A and B are shown apart, each in its own frame.
Chain A
């Protein structure tokens, strides 16, 4: 009797364990399916954007879209030259990176190498808040607060900004230059020569800046909704991305390299500029790319505050002219084009989206490759 019972229970146990193993396998399969589905979404996005973008290229070809300067989608005959939009996107992204790049990297260096731990903990929330503020709030600020300010006191804002950024930089540059020139002097008068040269250069730099500021303060901005406004705001929006990614890269450089550099007698500045930043180069590149992606893909700020003029400014680097970007065009024109689904006017917006998508996809791949490389290099 007991023997039978034992055999039966063993059988049941084996069955149960098999069932359990099956269940576990099925469960794992289910998990994999959900994960794969959420990854497949990106393919869906590519497919559905392509599906609506291709009819445009079939109807109108590539040349007009990429090289034409006339954007009149609702006129008869319509013309779909999107070059001004590509240019506008490029211009504001460039402007944003001029703001966010140096400031973001400097702030990241400051966070990783200069500030003590306590202060760092206090600064981090500032960056998080900057990242958390919704883009429409930035856009509202750009449109309602910043644009009128630029329009009324554009000259003053420009000159103050130039002084604020230029003074420290010019002074530093003058110091370095003075030192380098003094090294060429003969040994005897070198100390006095250095002092004199440096003083001369610094004064010269300040005078130059003064002239520049005076010139800028006379500038009149006819409309506050322009590329400059948008560039500054987009730059501020991109800063958190740049800071957090490049800080990670700087942190990953590790103590050993830094300590070796200090051990050779380098100052902190020299260590950072000559050792840490070169070692974290690919990580910083990734940070800049991700920041640029954020600026390229941003819709609300440019839609509200860029002026939405579909032509290339004269001269091309004129940041005070209104511009129009791809994202703003998609957002703005879809409302009208939606009623005529199937027309070139509808599909051209998907073509623009496809360009954005491709650009971001490439940027993402490059930044991922760069991050992986920096990780591999630093071990």
Chain B
């Protein structure tokens, strides 16, 4: 080959290698970037007055007078809007009365109109049968009015979603008692209020395209016509958003299927599982590692054990889950059904090979001279191992345990059938023996795929992912630092 070509090839070969490393780093950035940015959004965001109202009413936190002042200010600027809605309702009843007049309705109809009982659609339905003459035209007019009512009711619903219940309304469901707590979501909901959508099927070759139509077109000439411009201009005054650092997101319980509050039950569940796993796998793994490093000779028994352990390391995590279900739950009955204990046992089996391998390496790294010194002082092998070798290997062993903790914290598949539930209160310590728990990895899956309103609680999902990643990375960084220290010490 020509020398020049060889040189170019050599250079570009190096370039190719570096290119792959750069691509890898880029992948990491692309992955972590959105998770960090949007995950932080769960903690730091522009909270509306509704958020502060919720916090005050449910946790009793926040400056009561100040929050109540803001609530009053927000209510004041919502007044004109509620006014328009009430006036439009009047208008609808007026039209009803006009229809009744035109068609000479019975007295019962007028009674309904006077008392406004029952509500308009029901009153309309009742009136259909008591219009006396020229029934058909009367019914058409009533149908048209009912349609206007439906459009109006949709508008009211949009306002409720944005600002909370209208004056005088009461709801049992928590998410209906409050408006939008986050300014970002509020703007999305404002768009929903301002625009209705429709599908455009004009092009037969394509799927229907979503087209937005201003909702105001449905209300031309009515009392709520100016509502839309008012809402758009005064959203800020009606919700009074304010930058908030909601650090208690981590420590608050969740309310109403994660619509409000924080993620503490899941965080606590993950902590329980992780620590429980290590309490089981740690001692077992260290003992096995000590045996393999210090006592085991090259026999077929030992090499069989090693093969078994490396096979265990290669078992897919979902198989561990099935094993945990079949063995710990269905055979040993460590608990009635899923429980933190069963999950921790399953996870312990999963991380055991990692703990054994890394601890064995750490124990082997202890200089031979330590052992020789101890033995020459007359210590038995047992004593040498447990008072000299293991303490010297402790930092390395700790590193292995910390890395395995990270692995246990993030695993999902093994706990699906053994420990996890989607919703729950934070557990007391003694309850971990018998009860399942929410856990971050499972809840991330659950909220991102099976929740009834996936888009509404994106911030909770991102916040959970961020929390989990930060937990795992913090453990790993600790391990990396610890390892760097050890290698510096061993180098002298």
| Chain A residues near B (Cβ < 8 Å) | 20, 23-24, 27-28, 31-32, 34-45, 48-49, 51-52, 102-103, 106-107, 109-111, 113-115, 123, 125-130, 132-141, 143-145, 164, 168, 171-172, 175-176, 178-180, 182-183, 194, 198, 236, 239, 267-270, 272-273, 290, 293, 296-300, 303-304, 327, 330-331, 334-335, 338, 341, 349-350, 353, 356-357, 360-361, 363-365, 368
Contact = CB atoms under 8 A, between A and B. Distances in A.
Given A130-B28, A176-B5, 11 more contacts: A35-B292, A38-B285, A38-B352, A45-B312, A49-B322, A107-B17, A132-B472, A179-B1, A297-B319, A331-B318, A334-B322
Given A49-B322, A136-B444, A43 B468 contact: no
B9 A175 contact: yes
Contacts of A38: 284-285, 288, 309, 352, 356
B382 A114 contact: no
A272 B13 contact: yes
A220 to B, nearest CB: 10
A109 B413 CA distance: 33
Across chains A and B, which 4 residue pairs bring their CB atoms closest together, nearest first?
Answer: A134-B410, A297-B316, A110-B17, A269-B13
Contacts of B5: 175-176, 178-179, 194, 198
Nearest to A47: B327
Contact of A106 (B16, B295, B480): B16
Given A103-B23, A115-B21, A126 B309 contact: no
Interface string B288-309: 1011100110000000111111
Contacts of B287: 31, 34-35
Contact of A357 (B12, B16, B310, B316): B316
Interface string B255-277: 00000000000000000000000
Contacts of B311: 42, 361, 364-365
Interface in B453-482: 458, 461, 465, 468-469, 472-473, 476, 480
A330 B322 contact: yes
A308 B314 CA distance: 25
A177 to B, nearest CB: 11
Contacts of A364: 310-311, 313-314
B428 interface: no
18 contacts: A23-B382, A24-B382, A35-B291, A42-B312, A45-B319, A45-B323, A106-B20, A133-B473, A137-B35, A168-B15, A168-B16, A183-B1, A267-B7, A272-B13, A293-B316, A300-B412, A350-B322, A368-B310
B288 A35 contact: yes
B312 A129 contact: no
Nearest to B312: A42
- A interface majority secondary structure: helix
A363 B318 CA distance: 17
B12 A171 contact: yes
Given A41-B352, A175-B8, A267-B7, A356 B445 contact: no
B349 A35 contact: no
B448 to A, nearest CB: 6
Given A144-B461, A168-B12, A132 B406 contact: yes
B14 interface: yes
A125 B24 CA distance: 12
B458 A296 contact: no
Contacts of B249: none
B396 interface: no
Contacts of A123: 21, 25
Nearest to B302: A35
Contacts of B310: 364, 368
A334 B16 CA distance: 45
B197 interface: no
Contact of B35 (A102, A141, A357, A363): A141
Contacts of A363: 314
A141 B326 contact: no
A267 B380 contact: no
Contacts of B458: 144
B381 interface: yes
A31 B291 contact: yes
